[in-house]
Amino acid sequence: MTLTAILEDIADEFRDVSERGVVANYIPPLACVDPTKFGMAVVEADGQIHTVGDADEAFSIQSISKIFGLTLALDAIGDALWTRVRQEPSGSAFNSIVQLESEYGIPRNPFINAGALVVSDVLVSHYGVQEAQQKILDLVRPLTRDAKNIVIDRNVALQEKETGFRNAALVNYMRTYNNIENPIEKTLELYFHQCALTMSCHQLAEVGAYLMTGSWNPITGRQVTSTLHARTIMALMMMCGHYDASGSFAIRVGLPGKSGVGGGILAIAPGVASVAVWSPGLNEYGNSLLGTRALERLVQRTGWSVF
Ligand code: DON
């Protein structure tokens, strides 16, 4: 059976499922997304792409963008990053503050909000807020055949800012431990704009493909980061990419993956495929409910689990 036929089977299976999870509702632009949307895209190691459903519709990638912020921060300061954020699973919710108090303001990993805020702070120190946003766009846009609609949605960023009290609390709290170098509004501004990155599954699977190949984008032949950084990012995706549901994702799907509250997931089968899925309804951990199930099904059909 071809990969395209497998994707069509999966989309058929989920088309009429009524239990689709709950769409993120903390800001209107996310709350109004149609919960019946479903898209999937797979890029193989030779650059071939297979898509199904709403794979060409742009959505807010939210926390999936933490992969790209981390890529830039590792390229900017290398291992010095690990003095400010650790490399361990948290077992806590994505926006939790509890561990920071007993762990001296050092977040467990770069994918929980606290850790991603430290990564943003590193990028603000290194590039400044505006240039760092441009760096993120300059990183992702050339990695896809068609970058149209890959934008930072200013309205999403603004609304995040207006409701981002928890993220403001995290930055303020870490600043008391001197783990934030910049004025908190600058670090938050970059973080909210990074989270507001918008693209389709088709584009996301292409953009993320550098992780599958040890940092070479199979479409452009361009080296994106070092092989070691790509491996580090994938290891963190496996351990921390789904927050306190990372363990069950590893068991059910068996691939490094990163989710976002927009309902997207990027999963990488090392050396084999880069997979993006989008279904806006979330489970209780803030990860796409049907997106996770769809990846589970894909791996059952293809044998792509790394375990
Ligand atoms: O900062 C936040 O809470 C959101 N902008 C992003 C959170 C997110 O995507 C968590 N992922 N599942």
DSSP string, 54-123: STTS-EE-GGGGHHHHHHHHHHHHGGGGGGTS--S---S-TT--HHHHHTTT--S-SSSHHHHHHHHHHH
Nearest-atom index, ligand 1, CA of 196 = 5
Nearest-atom index, ligand 1, CA of 160 = 5
54 CB within 6 A, ligand 1 = no
**Is residue 44 part of an annotated ligand binding site?**
no
**Is residue 43 part of an annotated ligand binding site?**
no
DSSP state letters, 249-277: HHHHT-S-EEE-TTSEEEEEETTTEEEEE
Paired residues of 274 in beta bridges: 43, 268
- CA–centroid distance, residue 229 to ligand 1 (Å): 23
As a whole number of angstroms, the longest Cα–Cα distance in the chain is: 57
pLDDT of residue 173: 98
d(CA 241, CA 207): 17
Q: Which residues are catalytic?
A: 63, 66, 191, 243, 261
Residues of the chain with pLDDT under 50: none
d(CA 230, CA 300): 25
Q: What angle (nearest 5°) sits at the alpha carbon of residue 73, between those of residues 249 and 98? A: 55
pLDDT of residue 1: 87
Nearest-atom index, ligand 1, CA of 261 = 9
> Which residue, by CA, sits nearest to atom 2 of ligand 1?
113
Residues 6+ apart with CB under 8 A from 275: 40, 41, 42, 43, 205, 255, 266, 267, 268, 269, 295, 298
Report the run of H or E that residue 211 belongs to, with start and end.
helix 209-212
Nearest alpha-carbon partner for 119 in 106, 138, 103: 106
Give yes or no for a contact between 153 and 58, defined as CB atoms under 8 angstroms apart: no
The model's pTM: 0.98
Architecture label for domain 3-302: 3-Layer(aba) Sandwich (3.40)
pLDDT of residue 118: 99
Q: What angle (nearest 5°) sits at the alpha carbon of residue 69, between those of residues 64 and 74? A: 130
pLDDT of residue 278: 98
**Is residue 179 part of an annotated ligand binding site?**
no
d(CA 110, CA 180): 14
- CA–centroid distance, residue 94 to ligand 1 (Å): 7
> Which residue, by CA, sits nearest to atom 1 of ligand 1?
113
pLDDT of residue 149: 87
Q: What ipTM describes this predicted complex?
A: 0.98
- CA–centroid distance, residue 4 to ligand 1 (Å): 31
Q: How many Cα atoms are found within 13 Å in the side-chain-facing hemisphere of 71?
A: 27
**Is residue 122 part of an annotated ligand binding site?**
no
- Backbone dihedral region of 112: left (phi > 0), alpha (psi from -120 to 50 degrees) or beta? beta
Give yes or no for a contact between 28 and 159, defined as CB atoms under 8 angstroms apart: yes
- CA–centroid distance, residue 260 to ligand 1 (Å): 6
Give yes or no for a contact between 38 and 14, defined as CB atoms under 8 angstroms apart: yes
Nearest alpha-carbon partner for 100 in 116, 115, 111: 115
> To test the ligand 1 pocket, which listed residue (25, 113, 246, 287) has its Cβ within 8 A of the most ligand atoms?
113
Neighbours of 50 (CB within 10 A): 21
Report the run of H or E that residue 47 belongs to, with start and end.
none
Give yes or no for a contact between 262 and 288, defined as CB atoms under 8 angstroms apart: no
